[in-house]
Amino acid sequence: MAKKAAFLFVSSAQLAQLRPRALDSTTCVALRDPPSLEHSSCSQCFLPGRVPAGSPLVQLVESSRYRLCTLNKGLLTPARGLTQGSQNPEKQNVFHILEVRDKLREIVGASTNWRDHVKAMEERKLLQSFLAKSQEGLPPRRMKDSYIEVLLPLGSQPELREKYLTVQNTVRFGRILEDLDSLGVLVCYMHTRIHSAKMSPLSIVTALVDKIDLCKKNLSPEQDIKFSGHVSWVGKTSMEVKMRMFQLHGNEFCPVLDATFVMVARDSENKGPAFVNPLIPESPEEEELFRQGELNKGRRVAFSSTSLLKMAPSAEERTTIHEMFLSTLDPKTISFRSRILPPNAMWMENSKLKSLEICHPQERNIFNRIFGGFLMRKAYELGWATACNFGGSRPFVVAVDDIMFQKPVEVGSLLFLSSQVCFTQGNYIQVRVHSEVASLQNKEHTTTNVFHFTFMSEKEVPLVCPRTYGESMLYLDGQRHFNSMSVPVNLRKDFLVEP
Ligand SMILES: CCCCCC(=O)SCCNC(=O)CCNC(=O)[C@H](O)C(C)(C)COP(=O)(O)OP(=O)(O)OC[C@H]1O[C@@H](n2cnc3c(N)ncnc32)[C@H](O)[C@@H]1OP(=O)(O)O
C-alpha cells in the first residue's frame, strides 16, 4: 500500500541539519522562512493547500539520494544536487518536466492564451535587432554551457503518471517523444542564450530527429525518469543535440534511450535563418563528439542524395525486388496480371492505416505552429497500431530514425497521417508514416514529415510484399532504415516500450 505523504515544517536553519536518511520517500518538507513567497499552495504536491501562505516549499522526494525541489512560480523545481548520470556536476541546470515548456515560453515571450498570440508575435519582431550579423560576432560556447537535466518523477510524484500510462502499465513512448522535443529546444536556447537579455531573438525549431535508439529494458511508470542533453555540434544556423534518458532502478539511474536531434535557428519571426554561437570542444571526448557531428552531417547528405526518389536502387537491391516479384507470379498462369501471395505474406497495401487530426491551437508550439512533439506522438501512435495490426501481437519500439520536419504545420490545418508496413524481418516490423496537411480554404495537400519507426513484435511476423514499383521502392527504403539501426538486433530481447 502507498504511504501517505507527510509534511515537516522547518526553518532553513533546521533544514540544513536534516539528514536525508531521516526522511522517507513521501515526506515533504516545507520551509517556514523566508516568508515572502506569494504562493499559498503547491499544485504539484500531495496535499495541495496544506502549505501555509508565504512558505517556499521544499520537497524531499527520495531518501537514498538527497534531492530537493523548491517551489518556483507554482512549480516544483529540482534544485542542484541531481548528479547521477551528469557530465557536469559542478554547474548544472536541472528542471522539472513541468517547467520545461514554461521556461521555453518565458525565453521567447510566447503567449499562454491563444487570443494573445498575435500581440506576442508583434513583440517578438522588436527582438530582430538583437540577431547577430555573422557567426563570428557571437561568443563561442562549450558543451557544458548547454548541458541540462530534466526530471520526470513518475515514481515520486504519482499524479504525473496518468499522462504517461499505457493500459499495460508501461510508459507511453509518444509522450517521451514530446518531452525529448521540448528538451532539445531548451538545450539549444541554453547554448545560444544572451546572459544580459531575458528573451531570445531566436526561434529554434526541430529540423530532424536523426536517431533514437532504445538501449535497455522496460520503462516502468512507477520509477523516476531523468533526461539529459547538450549541444554536440553546430553549423552556421543548425545545432545537433544529443540527449539521453535514464530510469531509476534501485538507487541508480540506468540509461534507457539515446537520441540525436538537429535543431535550426530562425529569426525572431521564424521567417529566415539566424546564426548560432560557435561550439568549442574542450576534451578529447568532446572533440570526438564534434567530429561525429560533422560525420553525421555528411552521412545525412549522402543518405539523401542516394534517396530512391533521386537514384535507381543498387544492383543488389534490384535483385531483391526482382526475386520478390517472381515469388508472386502464379506458376499456373505465368501472367503478370494474376499475382499470388507467397506463404506467410501480406500485400503491403493491406497493411495501411490512416488517421486525421484537426490541428487545434492547444497543440501549438511557442511559435504558434503545431508542436513537433505532438506530430511525432500522433505519427508514432498510428505507426504502433499499424505494427500491432500487422503482426497480431504487441509491438515494442526499438528505433526511430530520420524524421524530417520539412515544413511547419499551421494551426487550423487538417493533418492527414498515412501509415504502412514497408519492410519486415523475423520479429521486426519497419513502419513508415507519411504526414501531409491541407487547410480548410486550400484543399491542396503538402507533405510535412515522413516518420520511420522500427518495432519488434512478440512473435515472428509475415513478410510484407510490394505489388507495384512504388511499393518496391518503399520496401527498399524501409530495408535501408532497418539496416541503419545501430544496436545489434540480438541485444534486443527485453524491450517493453509502448504507445
Ligand atoms: C515546445 C517548443 C518546441 C518547439 C519545437 C517545435 O515544435 S518545432 C515544430 C516542428 N518543426 C518545424 O515546424 C520545422 C519545419 N521545417 C522548416 O521550417 C524548415 O524545413 C527548416 C527551417 C528546418 C529548414 O529550412 P531550409 O532548409 O529552407 O533552411 P536552410 O536551407 O536555411 O537550412 C538551415 C540549416 O538547417 C540545416 N538543415 C535543414 N534541413 C536539415 C535536415 N533535414 N537535417 C539536417 N540539417 C538540416 C541546413 O544544413 C542549415 O544548417 P547550417 O546553416 O548550419 O549549414
In contact, 236 and 260? CB cutoff 8 Å: no
Going by pLDDT thresholds of 50, 70 and 90, the confidence category of residue 153 is: very high
Give the ipTM of the model, two decimals please. 0.96
- The number of beta carbons lying within 10 Å of the beta carbon of residue 420 is 23
Nearest atom (ligand 1) to Cα of 238: 54
Does residue 105 have its Cβ closer than 6 Å to ligand 1? no
Q: How far is the CA of 264 from the centre of ligand 1 (A)?
A: 5
The pLDDT of residue 54: 38
Ligand 1 binding pocket mutation candidate from 205, 401, 446 (most atoms within 8 A of CB): 205
Q: Give the mean pLDDT of 388-399.
A: 92
- Would you call 448 helix, strand, or coil by DSSP? strand
Of 63-77, 263-277, 282-296, 427-441, the poorest mean pLDDT is in: 63-77
- Which phi and psi angles does 450 have, rounded to 5°? -130, 130
pLDDT at 487: 54
What is the C-alpha separation between 209 and 259, in angstroms, rounded? 8
Quick one: DSSP state of residue 339?
A: B
What mean pLDDT do residues 382-402 have? 93
DSSP symbols for 125-168: HGGGGGS-SSGGGS--B-HHHH-EEEEE-TTT-GGGGGGGB-TT
Is 492 close to ligand 1, i.e. is its CB under 6 Å away? no
Residue 485: predicted pLDDT: 80
Ligand 1 atom having least distance to the Cα of 273: 32
Please report the pLDDT score of residue 216 as a whole number. 61
In this prediction, residue 439 carries a pLDDT of: 83
Is 59 touching ligand 1 by the criterion CB < 6 Å? no
From 138, 191, 264, 409, give the residue whose CB has the most ligand 1 atoms within 8 Å, as the site to mutate: 264
Any residues with CB less than 8 A from the CB of 265 and at least 6 apart, and which? 188, 192, 202, 203, 204, 237, 238, 239, 273, 274, 275, 276
Atom of ligand 1 nearest to the CA of 210: 44
**Crossing angle of the two packed helices 173-192 and 97-108, in degrees rounded to 10:** 40
376 pocket-lining for ligand 1 (C-beta < 6 Å) = no
Written in H, E and C, the secondary structure of 213-275 is: EECCCECCCCCCEEEEEEEEEECCCEEEEEEEEEEEECCEEEEEEEEEEEEEEECCCCCCECC
Best mean pLDDT range from 182-186, 252-256, 437-441: 182-186
Residue having the nearest C-alpha atom to atom 30 of ligand 1:
273
Q: Mean pLDDT, to the nearest integer, of 204-228? A: 89
pLDDT per residue as tens digits for the range 188-206: 999 999 887 778 999 999 9
Cα separation, 72 vs 44, in Å, equals 11
Residues 6 or more apart from 96 whose CB is under 8 A from it? 44, 69, 75, 76, 77, 78, 150, 151, 153
Per-residue pLDDT tens over the stretch 335-352:
777 788 999 999 999 999
Is pLDDT at 360 greater than 50 in this prediction?
Answer: yes
**CA-proximal residue: ligand 1, atom 44 (nearest):** 208
For 135-148, what is the mean pLDDT? 96
The pLDDT of residue 104 is above 80: yes
Contacts of 380 (CB under 8 A, 6+ apart): 173, 174, 177, 397, 400, 433, 451, 453, 499
Looking at every residue in the chain, the average pLDDT score rounds to 81
Asked if residue 477 has its Cβ within 6 Å of ligand 1, the reply is: no
CB count within 10 Å of CB 106 equals 16
Q: How much distance in Å is there from the Cα of 291 to the middle of ligand 1?
A: 21
At residue 18, does pLDDT exceed 70?
Answer: no
Q: Give pTM, 2 decimals.
A: 0.81
Determine whether the shortest distance from the Cβ of 445 to ligand 1 is under 6 A. Answer: no
Averaged pLDDT, 200-221: 88
Query: For 89-98, what is the mean pLDDT?
Result: 73
Say if ligand 1 is within 6 A of residue 428 CB: no
As a whole number of angstroms, the distance between CA 413 and CA 53 comes to 44
For residue 40, count other CB atoms closer than 10 A to its CB.
Answer: 12
- Cβ of 478 less than 6 Å from ligand 1: no
Q: Are 177 and 380 in contact (CB under 8 A)?
A: yes
